[in-house]
């Protein structure tokens, strides 16, 4: 894969995920055995909100490169989002056989702990991932009351309730729910997007973006 192609795909993923998908598909028409392009295609599909397609694409990545650990952890995250915890556990077990100390695996296990409601175990795993590799910092833990006040002050959506994680629903990794009574924000799903840095202002921005996506 040419460096110019990877740079073009990365830029498109940020600006236009559908264009990134088209770029990847064009490259795969030339060489369908390039695992790097398949991995970029999965990333673009996730950016475009096509998680089910990304799940299939990542299966192609591991077929071409059985030790591509991030493909397994991404598949696990997609499956966890779909509330398919048993299937996600299989992906994580395969990843552990490759490298049980990989920070991406530790973070995926932290996410599984969050979904299970074991927040202390999750935070310990996030810290372990950061200690293993500083490029994977633990998510910040921001003041929940301050988060609620800032969102209510900036967004006209009624009363704001902060919860740690969704208990059920179509997506276990969604940032918020909105109904006629107000807004429920899931703090840990927001904080995970901040990765170590970030502040209350960044939370407000992410909530605004999530609300815009709901409007779509």
State both tokens at 69.
């650990």
User: What is the pLDDT averaged over residues 74-98?
Assistant: 97
Give residue 161's region: left, alpha or beta (phi > 0; psi -120 to 50). beta
The share of the chain scoring above pLDDT 90, in percent, equals: 89
Q: What pLDDT score does 196 carry?
A: 72
Check residue 32 and give left, alpha or beta (phi > 0: left; psi -120 to 50: alpha). Answer: alpha
pLDDT for the residue numbered 2:
81
pLDDT-derived band at 69, boundaries 50, 70, 90: very high
Q: What is the mean pLDDT of residues 118-140?
A: 97
User: How large is the average pLDDT for residues 164-189?
Assistant: 93
The edge-to-edge listing of strands for the beta sheet with 176-179 is: 160-163, 182-186, 176-179
Average pLDDT over every residue of 117-140: 97
Convert the pLDDT of each residue in 181-206 to its tens digit. Answer: 899 999 999 999 997 778 999 999 99
17 confidence band (pLDDT: 50, 70, 90): very high
**Sign of dihedral through CA atoms 185, 186, 189, 191?**
positive
pLDDT at res. 174: 96
Mean pLDDT of the chain: 95
Q: How many helices (H) and strands (E) does the chain have?
A: 11, 3
pLDDT at 195: 75
Q: What is the per-residue pLDDT for 216?
A: 52
What confidence category does residue 3 fall into, taking pLDDT thresholds of 50, 70 and 90? confident
Q: What pLDDT score does 4 carry?
A: 82
**What average pLDDT score do residues 136-164 get?**
95
């Amino acid at each position: 894969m040419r460096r110019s192609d990877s740079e073009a795909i990365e830029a498109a993923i940020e600006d236009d995920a559908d264009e990134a998908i088209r770029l990847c598909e064009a490259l795969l028409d030339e060489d369908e055995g390039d695992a790097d392009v398949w991995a970029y295609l999965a990333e673009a599909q996730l950016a475009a909100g096509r998680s089910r397609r990304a799940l299939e694409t990542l299966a192609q990545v591991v077929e071409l490169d059985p030790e591509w650990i991030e493909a397994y952890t991404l598949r696990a995250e997609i499956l966890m989002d779909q509330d398919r915890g048993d299937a996600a556990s299989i992906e994580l077990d395969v990843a552990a056989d490759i490298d049980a100390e990989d920070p991406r695996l530790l973070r995926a296990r932290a996410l599984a702990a969050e979904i299970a409601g074991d927040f202390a175990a999750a935070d310990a795993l996030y810290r372990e991932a950061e200690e293993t590799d500083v490029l994977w910092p633990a998510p910040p833990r921001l003041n929940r009351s301050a988060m609620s006040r800032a969102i209510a002050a900036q967004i006209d959506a009624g009363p704001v309730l902060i919860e740690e994680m969704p208990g059920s629903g179509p997506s276990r990794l969604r940032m918020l729910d909105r109904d006629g009574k107000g807004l429920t924000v899931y703090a840990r799903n927001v904080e995970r997007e901040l990765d170590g840095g970030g502040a209350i202002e960044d939370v407000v921005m992410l909530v605004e973006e999530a609300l815009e996506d709901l409007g779509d």
